[in-house]
Structure 1
């Protein structure tokens, strides 16, 4: 039960923050749309950008309610699969594509983003399969653990930079 609370909280926060950060201002949204254009979407980049922000918002909302959590996990898994396909495509491009996953500047999309999204996808699968139980004090502690996991995921690029800087 507590594993499900950790995964649900982490995914809810990750998708919620991603949607809010991309949509927090016109400049943030246009930076995201610009990154999408790098995928060769051309004029479709803006509608795709709206769709991504909407889907991330819906995923977070579905994960927030017990009666819709299964749909939330399934939507999260679908989004992460599409995102990983996009990252593979971007990593094959001769021009680096900046990660705008959380609205602010990140490093070029690559293997670390694939790993991050694969871990999140694995968490969605675990959440789907895990037992769900009543909310108690242990669940509250598990939710705090989920917040910590989400923070690590959201600041993934910064952590990767710090790790690479210490090796130099």
Structure 2
């Protein structure tokens, strides 16, 4: 059954993205808090709460994926559903920032990244689709082949790393800005 191998790959993709994100935000909480201010996601008093609750929620998703890997199917569903919920919230915040004009920077993975752009919405939409598919997928029909699972997990992890460095990849291939003559 294809889901038997796709689910572990999808879980590895999402777990990689959320693990790097949680670690980066927890490592630099002041930088993360500063990146939230221009987004104005909520009243100023809520920012300190978001500074620690967002990485905690991301870490909880990663932990749930870990529990699922050890055989707890309900944890897997919770991990995929939690991933979907977080991605929906992040996407709403990014879209509202873009509507006000692009000025806020992505601090998604613990370091100041690019100014939010439509590609960040697209990234979250793709990850959200993966999370929704994982949450709604049928359970495994039989024990999947270990080699197939290993390959899927490795591919998912590599895809997760590519998502994390997406802004760097875009910068690498984007045309250099020309200096203005004045």
Alpha-carbon RMSD across the aligned residues, in angstroms, is 1.9
1:37 matched to 2:31? The reply is no
Structure 1 residue 57: Cα displacement: 0.5
Q: Which piece of structure 1 moves more, 156-165 or 69-78?
A: 156-165
Give ranges in structure 2 of 5+ residues lacking alignment: none
Q: Are residue 155 (structure 1) and residue 165 (structure 2) matched? A: yes
Question: Is residue 2:80 matched to residue 1:77?
Answer: no
Compare CA radii of gyration and give the structure with the larger one: 2
Q: Distance in 2 between matches of 1:159 and 1:95?
A: 20
* 1:95-110 equivalences in 2 (<5 Å): 96-110=103-117
Deviation at 1:166, TM superposition (A): 7.6
Question: Any runs of at least 4 consecutive aligned residues in structure 1 with deviations exceeding 4 A, and if so which?
Answer: none
Number of aligned residue pairs: 165
TM-score (structure 2 length as normaliser): 0.84
1:77-102 deviation per Cα after TM superposition (whole angstroms, max 9, x unaligned): 00000000000011122460000000
Residue by residue over 1:91-115, the C-alpha shift from the partner in whole angstroms, topping out at 9 and shown as x without a partner, is 1224600000001121011201001
Does 1:17 find its partner at 2:17?
A: no
* Contiguous gaps of at least 5 residues in structure 1: none
**Distance in 1 (alpha carbons) for counterparts of 2:147 and 2:176:** 38
Separation of aligned partners in 2, 1:166 and 1:137: 43
With structure 1 as the length reference, what TM-score do the two structures score? 0.91
Aligned to 2:143: 134
